[in-house]
Chain A
């Protein structure tokens, strides 16, 4: 899953708490899931690097 997908998933997960579906029985589990996903995203963001590719073409010609 891409970082953007994970962020979207996290946003959906946090929205649940403010929705009509919210209930205290599930809240703890849902919060733990969101917390772990947040940690995962933070780790991904720290580790992800951009890939630089110099095009092998002479534009002077």
Chain B
């Protein structure tokens, strides 16, 4: 008995599609883009090929987060199936460029497009809020970048609540996960800032942060966003769309927190300056007092000297008026009745002379 199944064409295609769907519900295929066609500005068809083979791909314009170009190397995630016309095709859910050249080209194209839309406008950037209490972190909890970020935060400051959305940070589904985490934080609204962190990696690893939807989601976030992705040289669309770009996860942690060691040193410095100020102030007061005392002493001494001089002058005057002084100058004091025949006494410096008045004439 022949057990070979017999189908109608439609049945056969349906069975093959079921088999494909069972074996490969989703696949990722890496290849080079060729023969891109857009229909009605809605449907996108292109071939994905390597050196030997080609596969047809189909997607919608709305699902294109990275614009494919002729010759661009990409990895697609999608579902394989046979169309009703019997053509084998991949219905694409996601595209990501691979290889440095393709990533750079896709990045530049999207950067220009989003820049024209004003997504990266510096005037829209918000600063890190003051007095941070709660930080929303989007990262993979197993990633080195996340560990660095938390370690630096813990070393620098305390008392913060860190709410962590554990997401993939590389691979085709990572950008969707990050977008969902951003939605979660924006809907919950329970964080002051959102930090998207991921350590260094290859261009392919970091390509997730050049996703158009992710860049748009970041730019439209109600809550300010800081990115710390890769290294200083790795610039992504996520970085450009964020409010603040830190060069690394470590740098992001440094930007978000004060350093308690520096804060304590600053407090010690301030107190030390105050102590020095008090010492200087009291020294100045002492010095002022000493100056005042010195000045008063000088005034008193001058006054005493003046008084002494005055006294000396008085003494000189008194001395000059002393009769004995006059007598020493050769003068004499004549005492007694000045009439002829009377006796008088003549007092000189060293003698008392008794004399008799003979005549008295007017001068």
Contact (Cβ within 8 A) A7 B277: no
Chain A residues closer than 8 Å to B260, beta-carbon distance: 45-46
Give bound CA distance, A49 to B161, whole Å: 9
Task: Say whether B271 contacts A51, CB under 8 Å.
Answer: no
Instruction: State which of A7, A34, A50 has its C-beta within 8 Å of the C-beta of B154.
Output: A50
Contacting pair B168 A31 (CB below 8 A) = no
Kindly report which residue of chain A lies nearest to residue B188, judged by CB atoms.
A55
Q: Is the interface of B mostly helix, strand, loop or mixed?
A: helix
Contact of B165 with A by CB under 8 A: yes
A31–B278 CB distance below 8 A: yes
> For the side of the interface on B, what is the size category?
35 or more
Whole-angstrom CA separation of A46 from B158 in the bound complex = 8
User: Is A42 in contact with B264, judged by CB distance below 8 angstroms?
Assistant: yes
What is the size, in residues, of chain A's interface with B at 8 Å between Cβ atoms? 32
Which of B94-102, B118-126, B173-181 touches A? B173-181
- Residue of B at shortest CB range from A22? B281
- Chain B residue with the shortest CB-CB distance to A39: B267
- Tell yes or no: B282 within 8 A of A by CB: yes
The complex places the Cα of A31 from the Cα of B281 at a distance, in Å, of 14
- Of all chain B residues, the one with the shortest Cβ separation from A4 is B131
Q: How far is the CB of A51 from chain B (nearest CB, A)?
A: 5
Q: Do A50 and B161 contact each other (CB < 8 Å), given the known contacts A10-B267, A38-B267, A60-B168? A: yes
**16 pairs of residues in contact across A and B, judged by CB atoms under 8 Å:** A2-B159, A3-B159, A10-B270, A17-B277, A42-B264, A50-B159, A50-B160, A50-B161, A51-B161, A52-B164, A53-B162, A54-B141, A57-B165, A57-B184, A59-B166, A59-B178
